Amino acid sequence: MSAKQRSIAVVGGGFGGVGAAVMLKRQGYEDVTVFEKGERVGGVWQHNTYPGAACDIPSHLYEYSFAPNRWSRRFSPGPEIRGYIEGVAHRFGVFDKVRTGTEVRSARWNDERGKWVLETSAGPHEADVLLTACGQLSVPKVPAVAGLDSFEGPAFHTAQWRHDVDLAGKRVAVIGTGCSAIQVVPAIQPEVAQLDVYQRSPGWTFPKGDFEYSPRARALFKRLPALRRLDRASVQAFQEFGAAAMTSKPWLLPVLRAISKRQISSAISDPELRRKVTPTDEVGCKRIMLTDDWYPALAQPNVELVTERVGSVTADGIRDATGFERPVDAIVLATGFASHDFVAPMEIAGRSGRTLAAEWSEVARAYLGLSVPGFPNMFLLYGPNTNGGTGSVVNTLECGIGHVIAALGEMERSQAGQIEVRPEAAEDFDQELRAALAKTVWHSGCSNWYVDENGNDPSNWPWLWSTYRRRTEKLQPGAYALSAASAPVASSALG
């Protein structure tokens, strides 16, 4: 069989799944099926519909390189991004390849048949190649707060926004002060009667510099595509500066800290509030949050920043750790995502039935974030250690898809039926990765969603983004084993 005739199953219909379908189609791979459990394509942008949701990477980098868009703003709002992904799926002819409303519950490698067998909510499906594009931030994390179930009003996560609940004139509590909270708080503050924002530990911020593109600017970007490319390149360069500061050049961090401190002092005059929002940990340890309106919102008279821990939730309020109770009508949980299991709750079983969950019992890991020994013909897009404190995930996804295309091309050249990363290559990469991670700012002692409670980091890429591109664009000699049938053969093309 020609590699181009291979069937490819993709799990997830967000930026990763749609991007994979388009990039594969452009290379001649037509037998691609994308499974999306939601009713529409869009991934996180389909789920995160909370007020104020917008990207925090300038849109000219937060878009597919093959589908430049005429964005309305420098940082486009969620609905526009959702529409863009849908539009790309239509324009590039892959919309019909997406099976929405279909959840993949498990995927098992059948060694005899050399195929992945998927169990989906619509029945079984077989494919030669499996790509996961589930995102790292798709499973909402609800904190174990005593009494949360006994609250009589609406309580919901930012990623499960209750649009049927009218917050106007209500007393609202927002728990959490991460990237989601700093967007939702300024968006709802003007309409609610009282807003209690529960902060466990503050994060550093950076001015977002968001603005609407004038019709003239949009026309210019259209007439001069080089201008858009220049803008994209300059944003990328700034992201690389941030990546360098956080990974290998910590002497750059004071520059970021100074800008952040200045943002606080120019937005907040109350010294007590300034003190409360100023982090004591290193800048960049938590994700730096881009915002223009977070501090002005906190300084409004109807907002209280509560720095006491959440003690418990009562039928109609929140009691803090000192026992003081603030009555509320609604609770918004801006408490982040369960990000360390990657493909969960889907179960993936490779050779001999060994599951990815068992393989990752200590920490999730994958060669270049993409492939795992014992799991042939499987690639994880935006998999372990491909996130970062900076950079555009769309760019990362394109690099990963490019790697998959390189792997499929190698299978075609070698007339191989299977490709699998060699354990030695995966182990060498892992050691190199862990050594580099230990030197990054993310491990400097704050609480962040990258590092787990045991100090393991299954999340972040500890080098520059240009390094990720360079390392993924070709298959390294010796990294993968190719074989005709079930067991990898010694004389593989790359071995």
Q: How far apart are CA 264 and CA 373, in angstroms?
A: 47
The label of the residue with tokens 């594969």 reads 24
DSSP H helical segments within 389-464, as ranges? 393-414, 423-437
Could you count the other beta carbons within 10 Å of the beta carbon of residue 135?
22
The nearer residue to ligand NAP, 41 or 94, going by C-beta atoms, is 41
Distance CA 151, CA 148 (A): 6
CB atoms < 10 A from the CB of 331, how many?
Answer: 23
**Dihedral through CA 437, CA 441, CA 446, CA 448, nearest 10?**
-60
Interaction of residue 306 with ligand NAP, rule CB under 6 A: no
Report how far apart, in Å, the C-alpha atoms of 138 and of each of 14, 69, 79, 339 are. Answer: 11, 25, 17, 8
* DSSP H stretches of helix in 97-252: 179-188, 215-223, 225-247
Site string for ligand NAP, 114-153 (x = CB under 6 A): -----------------------x-----x-x--------
Residue 216 structure tokens: 């003239």
Residue 43 interacting with ligand NAP (CB under 6 A): no
Are 131 and 20 within 8 A, CB to CB? Answer: yes
**Site residues (CB under 6 A) for ligand NAP, limited to 334-373:** 334-337
Cα(108)–Cα(121) distance, rounded to whole angstroms? Answer: 15
Task: Provide, rounded to whole angstroms, the least separation between the CB of residue 398 and ligand NAP.
Answer: 17
Of the candidates 235, 310, 419, 451, which one interacts with ligand NAP according to CB under 6 A?
310
To the nearest whole angstrom, how small is the minimum distance from the Cβ of residue 387 to ligand NAP? Answer: 7
- Give me the sign of the Cα torsion angle 68, 71, 403, 120: negative
Q: Which of 287, 340, 403, 422 binds ligand NAP (CB under 6 A)?
A: 287
Position 61 contacts ligand NAP (CB under 6 A): no
For residues 48 and 377, which CB has a smaller minimum distance to ligand NAP in the complex?
48
391 and 453 in contact (C-beta within 8 Å)? Answer: no
**With binding defined as CB under 6 A, does residue 482 bind ligand NAP?**
no
Does residue 92 belong to the site contacting ligand NAP (CB under 6 A)?
no
Binding to ligand NAP by residue 80, rule CB under 6 A? no
Interface with ligand NAP, residue 404, by CB under 6 A: no
Closest CB to ligand NAP among residues 155, 179: 179
**Residue 4 or 326: which CB sits closer to ligand NAP?**
326
Q: Does 276 bind ligand NAP (CB under 6 A)?
A: no
How many residues bind ligand NAP, per CB under 6 A?
A: 26
Please choose, out of 31-39, 170-178, 261-269, 340-348, the segment that lies near ligand NAP by the rule CB under 6 A: 170-178
From 111-119, 210-218, 332-340, 434-442, give the range in contact with ligand NAP by CB under 6 A: 332-340
Q: What is the C-alpha to C-alpha distance for residues 30 and 53, in angstroms, rounded to an integer?
A: 34
Structure tokens at 349: 């079983």
Q: Looking up tokens 């994209």, which residue turns up?
A: 232
At residue 17, what are phi and psi to the nearest 5 degrees?
A: -65, -45
Q: Give ∠ CA 113-117-123 in degrees, rounded to 5.
A: 135
Q: Which of 15, 29, 198, 442 binds ligand NAP (CB under 6 A)?
A: 198
Residue 257: what are its φ and ψ, rounded to 5°? -65, -40
483 forms beta bridges with 418
181 lines the binding site for ligand NAP (CB under 6 A): yes
In the list 25, 27, 30, 56, the residue contacting ligand NAP (rule: CB under 6 A) is 56
From 177, 247, 418, 492, residue interacting with ligand NAP (rule: CB under 6 A): 177
Q: How do strand 129-132 and strand 8-11 relate by DSSP bridges?
A: parallel
| Nearest approach, Cβ of residue 392 and ligand NAP (Å) | 10
How many Å apart are CA 225 and CA 98, to the nearest integer?
Answer: 31
- Site mask for ligand NAP (CB under 6 A), range 448-467, x = bound: -x------------------
Is 179 a residue that touches ligand NAP (CB under 6 A)? yes
**Which residue stretch of 12-20, 176-184, 345-353, 399-407 sits at the interface with ligand NAP (rule: CB under 6 A)?**
176-184
Between 200 and 239, how does the x/- string for binding to ligand NAP read (CB under 6 A)?
xx--------------------------------------
H or E element that contains 132: strand 129-132
Which residues in this chain contact ligand NAP in the complex, by CB under 6 A?
Answer: 54-56, 137, 143, 145, 175-181, 183, 198, 200-201, 286-287, 310, 334-337, 447, 449
